[in-house]
A = this chain, B = another copy of it.
């Protein structure tokens, strides 16, 4: 079973499977030089290739087709290469100064479409709503496992965003601990007795220099400390801690906003690789105020360098105020 190893220098965690060694030539970016996807590569996510994935957890099958057979529009399967598994008991191991705990957890893949080469943003808002509903469903299902303490939703699109397959998909991961990565929101709450994201909404409306768009339920901004050039956050205006509690009205609005934004971004940034992630509150832990779920969209126009790796300081060559000005202008063409 995988180990979640403590990095004593960085005060962080690394997931490693002790018996796993991907060979140099098996890495996506080495497999075919810098064109890892290539053509004519067998795609396990395509319709008709259902047996190439682990058995499905759930699928949208409008015509009541059989599980793990063609006839689906969205399909959720366990991540075949996940280092996490749900069997077993959470345990910590110490070896000298080193420590790890075992990889109890879950990684699932949401195959967003049977069609290879069509991106999620190419579909209409109805389709995007369906994907969001499935994400909500899986989020709430994972949270029923008491061992899982944090759930991360994310999407990698393109080789420079870390996607190992081209076929449009997103992922959901449940882990047995809360990453320290977003701990600033708790620090901020403890210091100010206010939600950081609610404060950000208030500030951005007041400053009015990093706003991209406002819909009924969401505010789109380029954040003040954008790590990535043209980084964009989609923040629900109503304070809500758990993504799993997203309402029907929010889903409809988010689907429309996402589609318009993504189509604008793809054109404006000339088809960039990108990630999106949904940050949310921990689950199965005593209530801790300060969390407010939101979506981060990070175009990947730059590769992290030795500076980012060593110091953690991101160098961003695009001021978020200028990124927002460009996006604000372009966004009007897509609404």
Interface residues of A (CB under 8 A from B): 4-22, 24-25, 27-30, 34-35, 81, 83, 95-98, 150, 152, 154-156, 159-163, 171, 173, 175, 179-185, 187-188, 196, 199-200, 203, 206-207, 224-227, 229-230, 268-270, 272, 275-277, 279, 296, 298, 300-323, 326
Contact = CB atoms under 8 A, between A and B. Distances in A.
B318 A21 contact: yes
Contacts of A180: 312
A85 to B, nearest CB: 14
Contact of A320 (B16, B30, B160, B314): B16
A187 B11 contact: yes
Contact of A316 (B16, B163, B307): B16
Contact of A311 (B152, B296, B301): B152
Contact of A24 (B203, B272, B276): B272
Contacts of A182: 9-10, 310
Given A30-B272, A97-B203, A154-B309, 8 more contacts: A22-B317, A29-B160, A30-B269, A96-B207, A152-B306, A154-B310, A162-B302, A300-B303
Contacts of A306: 152, 154-156, 161-162, 171, 275-277
A161 B8 contact: no
Contact of A196 (B9, B15, B95): B9
A152 B15 contact: no
B199 A319 contact: no
B154 A315 contact: no
A316 B14 contact: yes
In the complex this chain forms, how many copies of it are found?
2
A288 to B, nearest CB: 15
A20 B319 CA distance: 6
B181 A10 contact: yes
Contacts of A161: 303, 305-306
A322 B18 CA distance: 8
B29 A301 contact: yes
Given A224-B98, A317-B17, A9 B311 contact: no
The 8 A-B pairs at the shortest CB distance, nearest first, are namely A154-B306, A162-B305, A181-B312, A7-B225, A21-B322, A277-B310, A179-B311, A275-B306
Contact of A199 (B7, B97, B188, B317): B97
A308 B9 contact: no
B154 A20 contact: no
A203 B96 contact: yes
Nearest to A96: B203
A313 B13 contact: yes
Contacts of A6: 225
Given A14-B316, A15-B314, A298 B309 contact: yes
Given A154-B307, A310-B154, A227 B270 contact: no
A227 B312 CA distance: 13
A14 to B, nearest CB: 4
